[in-house]
Amino acid sequence: MKFNAILLVLASLCLEQASAVTWYFLRWYTPDTSAEFIKFSMDMVAPTLPQAATYYLWPGLQDVGTSGVYQEVMDGRSGTWWIGAGWCCSNPTLSWGGGFNVAGQTTTTIDMVRTDNTDWTSTLTQGTQTVTDVFPLSYKNFNQALLAIELYSVAWDFGPLVFKNVVMEMNTTQTAWCTSAPENYNSATSYTMSTPVVSTSNGITTCSIALVNMTGPA
Ligand SMILES: *[C@@H]1O[C@H](CO)[C@@H](O)[C@H](O)[C@H]1NC(C)=O
Ligand SMILES: *[C@@H]1O[C@H](CO)[C@@H](O)[C@H](O)[C@H]1NC(C)=O
C-alpha cells in the first residue's frame, strides 16, 4: 500500500508493520486553505528497476485534512514497473484505477485534473497504452502536491528519478508557492530543478517546471 508521510504513524501501526519505510519527497503547498490545486501533470521517466521490491514512486495530491493521497504509483513489487492511479487508502474507500507495465527509461505522461465539482480525472499514457480513471474527490481541498519516493526495506538504488514538464494549477493569484523552493522532506533528497515559470490568468495560477531531477539520497 501507499501512505502519505503524515500518516506514517498509522502506517507503522497497520499494514506495513514489519517493514521499514524510507521517504524522499518534494512538496509544494497552497499559500492558504482558500486556494486549491486543480491540476497536476508531468512526464515521469521510469528508472531502470534493479529488482522486485517495494519501490513506490509517485506524484500525488494531499488534502487539508491529510485524509489520504490521490496518486499515480509506479510500483516495483513484481519486478516490472506497473503504474496506476488511485486514492489511498480510505475515507472514501475507492477502487484503484487501471494501469499498465512500463519499461525502464520510458516516459509516462500523467495528468490529474479537477474536472468538475465532483470528480478528478487521471489519465496515464505511455506509448500506445492509455488509461483514464475518474475519482469523486473534488470535495477534498487538495493543498499539497508531492513528488515522492516511498521505499519499504529497500534502498534508493535505481538512480535518478526524473520528472519533466511538471505543471501545477491553483485557484489563486499568488505566485510565491511556485517560485519558492519546494519543501524537501527531512532534507533527504538531492535534487536539481529548472527555474519555475509562473503565469496567472482569470484567477488561476499556472506553475511550469521543465525538469525536476531527484538525483539520489542527500
Ligand atoms: C478554489 O476552489 C474551491 C473549490 O471550488 C473553492 O472552495 C475556493 O473558494 C476557491 N478559492 C479561490 C481563492 O478561488
Ligand atoms: C539527472 O541527474 C543525474 C545526476 O546528476 C544526471 O546524470 C542525469 O543526466 C540527469 N537527468 C536529466 C534528465 O537531466
Domain boundaries, the chain: 3-217
Ligand nearest to the CA of 215: 2
CA atoms of 155 and 19, how far apart (whole Å): 12
pLDDT at 11: 41
Query: Which of 3-7, 104-108, 132-136 has the lowest average pLDDT?
Result: 3-7
Q: Is 175 in the pocket of ligand 2 (CB under 6 A)?
A: no
* pLDDT digits 0-9 by tens, 32-49: 999 999 999 999 999 999
**Beta-sheet strand order (sheet of 142-152):** 99-102, 81-88, 69-75, 54-63, 142-152, 21-29, 183-184
- Residue holding cell 492511479? 85
Report how far ligand 1's centroid is from the alpha carbon of 87 (Å). 22
pLDDT at 106: 98
Q: Is 165 in the pocket of ligand 2 (CB under 6 A)?
A: no
176: enclosing H helix or E strand = helix 176-179
Q: How many other CB atoms sit within 10 Å of the CB of residue 197? A: 13
Using an 8 Å Cβ cutoff, are 190 and 215 in contact?
A: yes
Strand partners, 144: 29, 62
pLDDT at 128: 95
Average pLDDT over residues 188-201: 98
Ligand nearest to the CA of 204: 1
Residues in Cβ contact with 87 at an 8 Å cutoff, skipping those fewer than 6 apart: 68, 69, 70, 71, 94, 135, 137
Q: Is 161 in the pocket of ligand 2 (CB under 6 A)?
A: no
Using an 8 Å Cβ cutoff, are 173 and 200 in contact?
A: yes
pLDDT at 16: 45
CA atoms of 58 and 81, how far apart (whole Å): 12
- Which ligand 1 atom sits closest to the C-alpha of 203? 14
Measure Cα distances from 79 to 100, 102, 126, 211 in Å. 13, 11, 18, 27
Query: Which residues, judged by CB distance below 6 Å to any ligand atom, belong to the binding site of ligand 1?
Result: 34-36, 171-172, 203
Backbone angles phi, psi at 176, to 5 degrees: -65, -25
Say which CATH class 3-217 falls into: mainly beta
Give the predicted TM-score (pTM) of the model.
0.92
- Residue holding cell 508557492? 177
Q: Whose C-alpha lies nearest to ligand 2, atom 10?
A: 213
